[in-house]
Amino acid sequence: MPDRPDEDRDHADPRNKPKKRHLAVVPARPVRSRRQFVIQGTAAMAGGVALTSQLVSAGPRALEHEGRKPIRPPTAALDDDAFQAACIRCGLCGTVCENGCIRFYGLEEATHGALTPYVDVRRRSCTLCMRCTEICPTGALQEVPEDLEIIAQEIDMGVAVVDPDRCLSYLGRVCGYCYDACPIPGEAIDLTPPARPVIHEDNCVGCGRCVELCPQTPTAIDVFRRDA
């Protein structure tokens, strides 16, 4: 059997295939197929039910982020007014959240936007699954692939801050839970002897894993949103 032309062999060799490019996400993503329409419609119904259930069960209570900027889901605009304007309060992000960390403000919330999503990392942290960015229909959250290298570059939910007056390692005991919990240890957080955590602000994505797993009560580490 004669050899195929060089161009056919090049095409067959997977090493010669062009690398994938990550395209910029436009603000609005139209429905492209009947299947996608059905999936989004079903998810929207589920989101409405889940959102209503959360609001009813929560009842009146103090806001978790009173007096400070809320931690929003991944890729939300740092300008919170811009995020609130883009978010349509559909609740879809909460239905697909892997760790169930996305919560919603109640109807009484005026400053941070009634029914808008936020993350209370002291209860549940973000696992960086990026599912919320995939399902958002308006571009309020922009799609990011579940690739840790890309996530480390693109996600900025906030920055972790250590309180040395509460941290066990700063108080003479060896802990290090925050370092073990971090999805990008050595880049976002380091330990100095004896196991004292040091945050690298430029590399911290604000996922809150360190906060959720901190053994102190109240926690010795928390996530704060950066200024726009």
Judge whether 18 lies within some domain.
no
Contact 57, 80 (CB under 8 A): no
Domain count, the chain: 2
Q: Are residues 145 and 173 in the same domain?
A: no
Report the amino acid identity of residue 177.
Y
| Percent of the chain residues topping a pLDDT of 70 | 70
Q: What is the mean pLDDT of the chain?
A: 81
Contact 139, 90 (CB under 8 A): no
User: In this predicted model, what pLDDT tens digit does every residue of 183-214 receive, in sequence order?
Assistant: 999 999 999 999 999 999 999 999 999 999 99
Instruction: With cut-offs at 50, 70 and 90, classify the pLDDT of residue 142.
Output: very high
Q: Are residues 163 and 100 in the same domain?
A: no
Decide if pLDDT at 20 tops 50: no
Residue 79 to residue 100: CA distance in whole angstroms: 24
Decide if pLDDT at 19 tops 80: no
Sign of torsion over alpha carbons 30, 36, 38, 39: negative
Q: How far is CA 219 from the centre of its chain?
A: 20
Q: What is the pTM of this model?
A: 0.72
The pLDDT value recorded for residue 105 is 96
Q: Are residues 132 and 172 in the same domain?
A: no
Q: Are residues 138 and 182 in the same domain?
A: no
Q: Does 224 or 31 have the greater pLDDT score?
A: 224
Q: Are residues 65 and 141 in the same domain?
A: yes
Average pLDDT over residues 108-135: 95
Instruction: With cut-offs at 50, 70 and 90, classify the pLDDT of residue 27.
Output: very low
Q: Which residue has the tokens 């919603």?
A: 104
The DSSP-derived string for 169-191 is TTTT----HHHHH-SSBTTTEEE
Q: Are residues 119 and 224 in the same domain?
A: no
CA-derived radius of gyration, the chain: 21
CATH of the domain at 171: 3.30.70.20
Judge whether 26 lies within some domain.
no
The pLDDT value recorded for residue 33 is 54
Single residue among 154, 183, 202 that ends a domain in this structure: 154
Judge whether 25 lies within some domain.
no
Closest CA to 46 of 98, 99, 90, 103: 90
The pLDDT value recorded for residue 30 is 46
User: In this predicted model, what pLDDT tens digit does every residue of 40-82 receive, in sequence order?
Assistant: 555 555 545 555 555 544 443 444 555 689 999 999 999 999 9
The pLDDT value recorded for residue 227 is 78
Q: Are residues 92 and 188 in the same domain?
A: no
The pLDDT value recorded for residue 67 is 66
Domain region containing 78 = 32-154
Residue 79 to residue 214: CA distance in whole angstroms: 29
Average pLDDT over residues 154-165: 97
Q: Are residues 132 and 106 in the same domain?
A: yes
The pLDDT value recorded for residue 140 is 97
What is the 3 state secondary structure string of 57-99?
Answer: HHCCCCCCCCCCCCCCCCCCCCCHHHHHHHCCCCCHHHHHCCC
Q: Are residues 145 and 162 in the same domain?
A: no
Instruction: With cut-offs at 50, 70 and 90, classify the pLDDT of residue 7.
Output: very low
Residue 179 to residue 196: CA distance in whole angstroms: 9
Contact 47, 117 (CB under 8 A): no
Q: Are residues 70 and 100 in the same domain?
A: yes
Residue 84 to residue 141: CA distance in whole angstroms: 11
